[in-house]
Amino acid sequence: MALRDWQRALGRLVEARASGRDLQSVKDSLAGLELRDAERAWLQEVTETRGFALTGRVPRWWRETRVRRSARLTLLALGREAEARIEAYMRAVPNFTLFFVAEGLSFLDWVGSTPVPPHVRAVAQFESAMWRLQQVPPTPPSAVGVALEEPLARHPAAALIAFDAEPEAVFGALLMGTALPEPTPQAHPVLVAPGLPRAWRPATSEEARAFLACESATMARALCALPGVRLDTLEGLLAAQALVGPPRSA
């Protein structure tokens, strides 16, 4: 037996069953593996047993649990589509983790990459941003004064998310189980940043403009050249720790 090939075959069979994919392609690949005939036969036959079915059910249950716990808002936003989306996600993304947040982020990224009903993409991005924020160690607030010749950069865990309606109305509807608001033509940017009291708040259009322009280190003067952006706009973003300035000596 080549143990590596035997494990590769069994592991892929279990993962395929757990993810709701057809086992046939894995079974077809058995011929090319370094296995004895009896081992090949065992791998073919074991998939018909109740024990194999249970072996596939356990990781499937865990994956569902991880997604349900880590993507609550997004699943609420998906409503009746939620179950089908979880199924589709598991078929599309092979199992790669035992960790709740890693699975949740993967699901949220996947949802964001697929066609979804109104508001869902923004909610998924928001939920993802909130998880990412929790994963960074807290940083002490820095001075919020800014000089024009100072370079500014985005905090690595800060995010700006474009909602299609008032975010409070969207979240309220999700939590109350009522109808989501109709999308509106104007943008509703939401800032997620470590220095905010609840880690998020609606952003002004000027804040959104400055934050988006600050993709890499950018001089404050260049940001202030954007329409409507002033030094106090940048100071607000610094206070929220959405942007960070250079370290200053005490």
Partner 1 sequence: MNDFVPPPLLGVGINYLPSAPEIMRAGEGLLDFFELSPDILCIEEGQGPARRLTPQPRLLDRTLRDTDGRPLVVHGLGLSMGSAHGWNEGYLKLLDMVHELRPFLWHSEHLGFLSVETPAGGEIVTGIPLPMPYTEESLNLLVPRGAAMAQRYGVPFLLENLTHYLPGLPTDGGRDEVAFLNDFVERSGCGLLLDLYNLHCNATNQGFDAREALPRLRLDRVVQIHVAGGGSHDGFQMDVHDTVAPEPVWELLEWVVPRLPHLAGISFEMLEEARLTPQAVRQQLERARTVWDRYHPRHGKNLRHGTA
Residue 139 binds partner 1 (CB under 8 A): no
Regarding 22 and contact with partner 1 (CB under 8 A), the answer is no
Quick one: 94 or 228, whose CB is closer to partner 1? 94
Per-residue burial over 56-66, b if 16 or more Cβ lie within 10 Å, else e, is: beebbeebbeb
Q: Which one among 20, 22, 49, 156 touches partner 1, defined by CB under 8 A?
A: 49
The size of the interface with partner 1 (CB under 8 A), counted in residues, is: 42
Report the residue from 101, 153, 224, 226 that binds partner 1 according to the rule CB under 8 A: 101
Is residue 171 near partner 1 by the rule CB under 8 A? no
Beta-carbon contacts of 198 under 8 Å, excluding residues fewer than 6 positions away, are none
Distances (CA, A) of 210 to 31, 166, 198: 58, 21, 21
Q: Look up tokens 């804040």; give the residue.
A: 207
Binding to partner 1 in span 204-243, by CB under 8 A: none
The site string for partner 1 over 29-48 (x = CB under 8 A, - otherwise) reads: x--------xx--x---x--
Which H or E element spans position 33?
none
Structure tokens that stand for 202 in this block: 């609606």
- Note whether 7 binds partner 1 by CB under 8 A: yes
Q: Minimum distance from CB of 61 to partner 1 (Å)?
A: 9
Residue from 94, 117, 156, 228 touching partner 1 (CB under 8 A): that is: 94
Among 88, 102, 219, 226, binds partner 1 (CB under 8 A): 102
Strand order in the sheet with 200-202: 159-163, 188-192, 200-202
How far apart are the C-alpha atoms of 77 and 153, rounded to whole Å? 32
Binder of partner 1 out of 44, 55, 142, 218 (CB under 8 A): 55
Smallest separation, CB 27 to partner 1 (Å): 14
Quote the strand ranges of 63-173, DSSP E.
Answer: 151-154, 159-163
199 part of the interface to partner 1, by CB under 8 A? no
Q: How far apart are the first and last CA of the chain?
A: 65
Q: In whole angstroms, what is the distance from residue 96 CA to residue 12 CA?
A: 12
110 touches partner 1 by CB under 8 A:
no
Cα 49-55-58 angle, rounded to 5 deg? 140
> Does 198 engage in binding with partner 1 (CB under 8 A)?
no
Residues that bind partner 1 (CB under 8 A): 1-4, 6-8, 10-12, 14-15, 18, 29, 38-39, 42, 46, 49-55, 57-60, 62-63, 65, 94-99, 101-102, 135, 137
